[in-house]
A and B are shown apart, each in its own frame.
Chain A
């Protein structure tokens, strides 16, 4: 029996030698306790070295890997912030319920590139924080705030803007410029989200900080200028809201503030817009003289600037105020100019409105022909645009004017009651022409 065994040993073995593996069985038993998972053997006996890190990368969730990586380097503030944000995201998703569109978006935990971006920037920010370099912290947080622009992420962006503001407030060496910029960012975010009061607060702080400071932003305008512009926008929106809820006094107060700021900023465009709104507010209150004053101011500015859209708006407003005043001729003049402007601007809606108003003024005054002219124009425009509401309105007005024009002759015919006249009335009723006589 030993001869075949000897022979076998001299040839190269076909199969792997299982006897030798028995020798190291003791070794393997001892090793397996401690390295059970880190040395899996493949079929041909080669051991592949996979480290514990790689295994945990595969086994754990993405967010856990990122968190653990941050903690291992010692960045525990970044870890806390990331953990907190993930939790809040989940809660927001769950609170929305299946009706909320957030439910169908992938969770932040499942988006590895976003997690990695967060990790990178948060760790850089923490390093800078420990070194006391708050400018860099501010920059990193601002990058993160601008990175999150997807749906359902606006609160993330806002969170980072707030953090940026806090770090900007700790920057001591640049005279508060970063703080001002941070306030401006926050205010713009709030404006986008529609929270006008908060936006107003932050714009006011920005304005206060940037007064009299020679700072310029990327496009070459002074920061003070930007502050004024922002404030005016917020004020006009607030005033619009107040006008809609009929708090006229409040609206006027806000708008006067806005106007003074616009004047200070020395910007014609903003002044023109603010003047328009002031006039409107005064008009609503009933103070027509001041309204007209502001409207004419707005008109002048817009003509100078060549801003035809707002020019048209101004013309319309003046015409309306003149109309309510009773000065119809002037009103008509302005409406004609409005129509001209809208025609050149190809704004069909405005043109249609202008024609309708003029037509109605003329027909109210008794000048049915001219009135008809304009009303026909309005009808044509309504047809081309295809707006059913306008079409019907125009049809009604045209019909009314026709009828009113016909009325005197018709009534004389009926009162005369000669056979000739009656025959004419009957033929007219048969044929239903537009004109009578």
Chain B
């Protein structure tokens, strides 16, 4: 796996630096022979994080270009390298995101750093394509608790976005989301609110007022308002988030039930939806137990949320959970005597139960 490399025996002027820490390297990866590390710990970390997937692809990128006599050959080689680099960027971005999802920020760091480096090599140090990498790095650092580093990365990202006036709204909304989260963690609630407001604005422009991303923004704003103790705003925002999720999931369920189209949620959306809806449900249940039992519209919301969760899990393919939530929802709805939701919930439950037995027994999670 690794061959020893002596810095003294490198050709003159050729410094081999470690992938992760940029110190003089003592180890070389034998599979690709173009990646160097300072010690085995770094090598193992990098292998686990990203190197096992990109090892072979790095070889053509990092070896110096061969001598071609024809200009056409040289252009062709350059085009190939460019394609390889783009592929590397997207792969590493995806990997980093996957790690961040699962919550493992430490493993996400090497992947994100690799992504940034390749993007810098491909597009230059000031390009707008570096922004996603910066955002990933910032998120990873926030997760690890090193807030100053995160702040640095985010300000780099902000500066790059500022320098490109025709930057897309999608990037801007991501940037503002991350900045808002950072300020939220550091406790600077006003700045957090401003960034979240910008995030919601750009997300609405890009994806529409009712999309899930805008809802995510509203949910984050609600958390800030909760810290500021503005309960009525929080309630209003939570209701809006619940309604949007309900609408979105109902549409997907309808398509699935009528046309058996397997257009399910992506992993990102499923995770986010799960987190949001469970948080909302906990809130509701806390409020239900603490406040007086005659406030009926709170109970309506919890039936709503349970229905959403049932739909979410059935779209994701986890039938047991879907059935569980569906039954709970039915109980709630009957308690509150709200007839609007009973029909859809019944429909959902019957649909799940009438599915072929093979599907109901294997809780496969479809992507």
Contact = CB atoms under 8 A, between A and B. Distances in A.
A72 B193 contact: yes
A83 B204 contact: yes
Interface in B132-183: 151-152, 155-156, 159, 162
B152 A71 contact: no
B209 A80 contact: yes
Contact of B200 (A36, A56, A71, A77): A71
Contact of A71 (B155, B156, B201): B201
Contact of B209 (A37, A52, A74, A84): A84
- Interface centre among B196, B201, B204, by most chain A C-beta atoms within 10 angstroms, is B201
A72 B152 contact: no
Nearest to B237: A76
Contacts of A84: 209
A130 interface: yes
A76 B218 CA distance: 8
B226 to A, nearest CB: 11
A118 to B, nearest CB: 16
A76 B220 CA distance: 13
B194 interface: yes
Contact of B201 (A36, A53, A64, A74): A64
Q: How large is the interface on A (under 10, 10 to 19, 20 to 34, 35 or more residues)?
A: 20 to 34
Given A33-B152, A33-B155, A71 B209 contact: no
Given A33-B155, A36-B155, A52-B194, A76 B236 contact: yes
Contacts of B121: none
B225 A74 contact: yes
Interface string A87-118: 00000000000000000000000000000000
Contact of B197 (A33, A52, A72, A130): A72
Contact of B233 (A69, A74, A83): A74
Contact of B232 (A71, A76, A130): A130
A69 B201 CA distance: 11
B198 interface: yes
B308 to A, nearest CB: 19
A80 B243 CA distance: 14
B194 A72 contact: yes
Q: How large is the interface on B (under 10, 10 to 19, 20 to 34, 35 or more residues)?
A: 20 to 34
Nearest to A32: B155
A34 interface: yes
B218 A36 contact: no
A67 interface: yes
A74 B152 contact: no
Contacts of A77: 236, 240
A72 B225 CA distance: 10
A396 interface: no
Interface in B230-267: 230, 232-233, 236-237, 240
B236 A71 contact: no
A329 interface: no
B345 interface: no
Contacts of A80: 209
Contacts of A130: 232-233, 236
B88 interface: no
A68 interface: yes
Contact of B151 (A34, A53, A68): A34
A388 to B, nearest CB: 60
A70 to B, nearest CB: 8
A138 B209 CA distance: 24
Nearest to B200: A71
A99 to B, nearest CB: 28
Contacts of B201: 64, 67-68, 71
B150 to A, nearest CB: 11
A76 B193 contact: no
A135 B218 CA distance: 28
B112 interface: no
B231 to A, nearest CB: 10
Given A74-B230, A76-B240, A83-B204, A53 B194 contact: yes
B159 A71 contact: no
B221 interface: yes
B237 A74 contact: yes
Interface string B91-119: 00000000000000000000000000000
A57 to B, nearest CB: 12
A83 B208 CA distance: 10
Contacts of A79: 200
Contacts of B230: 74
A83 B197 contact: no
Contacts of B197: 67-69, 71-72
Interface in A8-47: 33-34, 36-37
Contacts of B156: 33
A41 to B, nearest CB: 18
- Interface centre among A56, A64, A69, A72, by most chain B C-beta atoms within 10 angstroms, is A72
A69 B198 CA distance: 9
Nearest to B190: A72
B99 to A, nearest CB: 26
Contacts of A34: 151-152, 155
Contacts of B236: 74, 76-77, 130
Interface in A104-146: 130
B151 A71 contact: no
A68 B194 contact: yes
28 contacts: A33-B151, A33-B152, A33-B155, A34-B151, A36-B155, A52-B194, A64-B198, A68-B194, A68-B197, A68-B198, A71-B193, A71-B196, A71-B200, A71-B221, A72-B190, A72-B193, A72-B197, A74-B221, A74-B225, A74-B233, A74-B236, A76-B221, A76-B236, A76-B240, A77-B236, A77-B240, A83-B209, A130-B232
Interface of B: 151-152, 155-156, 159, 162, 190-191, 193-194, 196-198, 200-201, 204, 209, 218, 221, 225, 230, 232-233, 236-237, 240
> Which 9 pairs, one residue from A and one from B, show the smallest C-beta to C-beta distance?
A71-B197, A74-B233, A68-B197, A72-B197, A72-B193, A130-B232, A67-B201, A33-B155, A33-B152
Given A33-B156, A74-B237, A76-B221, 4 more contacts: A33-B152, A71-B196, A71-B200, A72-B190
